[in-house]
Amino acid sequence: MSNKAWGGRFQSEPEAWVDAFNASINFDHLLIDEDIQGSIAHATMLAKQDILTQEESETIIKGLQDIQQDYHDGKVEFTEALEDIHLNIEHELIERIGSVGGKLHTGRSRNDQVATDLHLYTKKAVKEIINLIHSLQETIVKLADEHVDTIMPGYTHLQRAQPISFAHHIMTYFWMLERDKNRFEDALKRIDINPLGAAALSGTTHPIDRAKTQELLNFGSLYENSLDAVSDRDFVVETLNAISLVMIHLSRFSEEIIFWSTDEAKFITLSDAFSTGSSIMPQKKNPDMAELIRGKTGRATGHLMSMLMTLKGLPLAYNKDMQEDKEGLFDAVHTVTGSLRIFEGMLASLTVNTDRLNETVHQDFSNATELADYLVEKDVPFREAHAIVGQIVYWCIQHDCYLLDVPLEKYQEFSSKIDDTIYNYLKPENCLKRRKSYGSTGQEAVRHQIDVAKDLLS
């Protein structure tokens, strides 16, 4: 007969390489704290329901706590032969306290046990991610507060478009992250559900109290359907989706950082602490942290796709395929938490090259729309104004100058409506001041936006 926990009807042992393929202990050992937390709650409830004696429950709980401490002290080794964290802990418990340890599994299955562990882990991870997003948002707001009056070229199609506030540009990422945070907060409602007590798929004949384990594990609600409790991995997909969006937003911001730090742009200077050099080119200072975050985004979104494909077509209830729910989730959580920490440090320590940014908005045509608006205010139809400005820009390109350099008499050759007020009108700082619409790049609007953000953070 097999010596596996499930081996009563098996007459032989699998080969070691089959055990290795089947085992999950190499990654689900990360669930040790959640597994013991769930087991302590279960043992407590079993005693309350007189399924275990109080003495048996206390012996089991003390044994679990000792295993947990010894594991973290490096005194416990788990084995692939026992497959997963659940059977490894159960085996260790029985070794330490005897057959009473075998009573812990009364009224539950590994199916609801692993679901409980994963809910507890995901809830903890999501709360940590929310806190890290909040911290990064605070850093963005601080940097924005310092640069409301710093003007930079805004881009569309990676072509200079209109002058904008540097603060307005980076605050865009605050709002992306705010939506990310909201997604995680909303997902918590579907993560914070107790599956314990669903057993394998149909519940149990033992007089358990699921509401008690819900209370002990601080879950917000209970699964109403035992099949759903053990087969639901929507909360994993939802978490991976939210992580993917965070990573995509960080990747977009990373791309800006990478471009801004080039010699061609020189908009910012990254701290040495978040840059690396070249093994062959001594002059290089590479934005490798930003590039790594951009690269790791593919990894995180890949885990989402993998989980979706794992669930596609699975019949109820639990299937071994679901063992694949953990590695991707664990790695995605590790990736996004690391990326958020790195990004906050990178952003907090960079230098904004304000003189260079001011230079750029005086050496481009990002104020061309202002000239068109100026003509519109002089009662020139916009389409006609657009054509006139296009001709003026073409003249400037031919004569290697910008709109603020064009002599008044030349302006008036294109339109008699242009007078000497045009030069003050086209100054980049005045271009911003005239943007007064809600949510715009004007200094007044940006300061209001930052105040709204501060209120949200507080």
Question: What residues are labeled active site?
Answer: 157, 278
Backbone φ and ψ of 153, nearest 5°: -75, 130
Give ∠ CA 114-117-123 in degrees, rounded to 5. 140
Residue type, 409: E
Residues 6+ apart with CB under 8 A from 175: none
b/e string for 413-447 if b means 16 or more Cβ within 10 A? ebbebbeeebeebbbbeebbeebeeeebbbbebbb
Helix (H), strand (E) at residue 269: strand 268-269
Task: Kindly write down the DSSP assignment for every residue of 138-194, as one continuous string.
Answer: HHHHHHHHHTTT-EEEEEETTEEEEEEEHHHHHHHHHHHHHHHHHHHHHHHHHHSEE
Integer Cα distance of 415 and 377 in angstroms? 13
The per-residue b/e assignment along 62-90, b for 16 or more CB within 10 angstroms, e otherwise, is ebbebbbeebeeeebebebbbbbbbbbbb
DSSP annotation of 8 reads G
Round to whole Å and give the CA distance between 107 and 115: 15
DSSP for 396-436 reads HHHTT--GGGS-HHHHHHH-TT--TTHHHHT-HHHHHHT--
Here the tokens at position 394 are 């073409």
Question: Crossing angle, helix 32-48 and helix 85-97, to 10 degrees?
Answer: 60
| CA atoms of 151 and 161, how far apart (whole Å) | 13
Q: Is 287 exposed, middle or buried (0-12, 13-18, 19+ CB in 10 A)?
A: buried
CA separation for the pair 149, 162 (Å, rounded): 15
Q: Which helix (H) or strand (E) holds 86?
A: helix 85-97
Query: Taking Cα atoms as reference points, which of 353, 358, 404, 367 lies closest to residue 161?
Result: 367
Count other Cβ atoms within 10 Å, centred on residue 330.
Answer: 17
DSSP 13-30: PPPHHHHHHH--HHHHGG
